[in-house]
Structure 1
Amino acid sequence: MPRCYQCCFHDWVCENGIVSIMRIETRALEAFASVMKLGTVTAAAGVLARSQPAVTRSLQQLEERTGLALFERRSGRLVPTPEAHELYETVRETFEVAGKVERRAEEIRRRLRGELRVACVPAFSQRFIAQAVFDFSQLYPDVVVQVSTRFSAVLAEDLRAREVDVGIVTYHLLDETLSCSTFTTCNEVLAMPREHPLATRRNVGLRDLAGERLVVLGDKDPYRHRLEQALAAAEIVPGTLTVTDSSTTACSLALCGLGIAVINPISALELVGAGLVMRALPELDAPYVTTLVHRHDVHPTGFVRRFLEVVQKVRDRELARANELCKSMP
Structure 2
Amino acid sequence: MFKTRELEAFDAYMRLGGVKMAAEDLAASQPLVSRLLASLEEKVGFALFRRKRNRLAPTPEAFRFHQTVVRHLAGLRGLEQEALAIANGEVGHLVIAAQPIFCDTFLLDALRAFRVTHPQATVQIVDVGMAEMLRMISEQRCDLAFGITLNAEAFGAESRPLAHCEAHCLLPKGHALGELDEIPLPRLRKEWFIDLAQGSPLRQRVDHMMDTINVHRTIAAELRTLHSVVRLVERGVGVAIVDPVANQLIDLERVSSHRLIPAITWDIAQFVPHDRPLGSVGLAFAAAVETEINNLKDAGIVT
Structure 1 and Structure 2 fold alike (TM over 0.5): yes
CA RMSD of aligned residues (A): 3.3
Distance 1:114 1:196 in 2: 49
Closer, same or farther: CA 180–111 of 1 in aligned 2, 3 Å: farther
1:41 matched residue in structure 2: none
Pairing of 1:71-220 with structure 2 (within 5 A): 113-172=91-150, 173-175=152-154, 177-220=156-199
The percent of aligned pairs where both chains have the same amino acid is 16
Closer, same or farther: CA 230–158 of 1 in aligned 2, 3 Å: closer
1:244 matched residue in structure 2: 223
**What are the ranges of 5 or more consecutive residues in structure 1 without an aligned counterpart?**
2-107, 325-330
Partner amino acid for 1:294?
V
Contact in 1 for aligned 2:110/2:292 (Cα 8 Å) = yes
Higher-Rg structure is 2
**Matched residue SS, 1:197:** coil
How far is 1:297 from its partner? 2.4
Q: Give the total of aligned pairs.
A: 217
Higher strand share: 2
1:271 matched residue in structure 2: 250
Higher helix share: 1
Closer, same or farther: CA 119–194 of 1 in aligned 2, 3 Å: same
Closer, same or farther: CA 208–303 of 1 in aligned 2, 3 Å: same
Q: 2:278 matched to 1:304?
A: no
TM-score computed with the length of structure 2 as normaliser: 0.60
How far is 1:135 from its partner? 1.6
Distance 1:175 1:110 in 2: 35
**What are the ranges of 5 or more consecutive residues in structure 2 without an aligned counterpart?**
2-82
By relative contact order (CA 8 Å, sep 6+), the higher-ranking structure is 2
Contact in 2 for aligned 1:183/1:312 (Cα 8 Å) = yes
Distance 2:157 2:210 in 1: 37
TM-score computed with the length of structure 1 as normaliser: 0.55
Contact in 2 for aligned 1:218/1:224 (Cα 8 Å) = yes
Output one character per residue of 1:243-284: Cα deviation in whole Å (capped at 9) or x when no partner: 334322222111111111011112342224664321111313
Contact in 2 for aligned 1:269/1:322 (Cα 8 Å) = no
Contact in 1 for aligned 2:195/2:219 (Cα 8 Å) = no
Contact in 2 for aligned 1:264/1:288 (Cα 8 Å) = no
Closer, same or farther: CA 320–120 of 1 in aligned 2, 3 Å: same
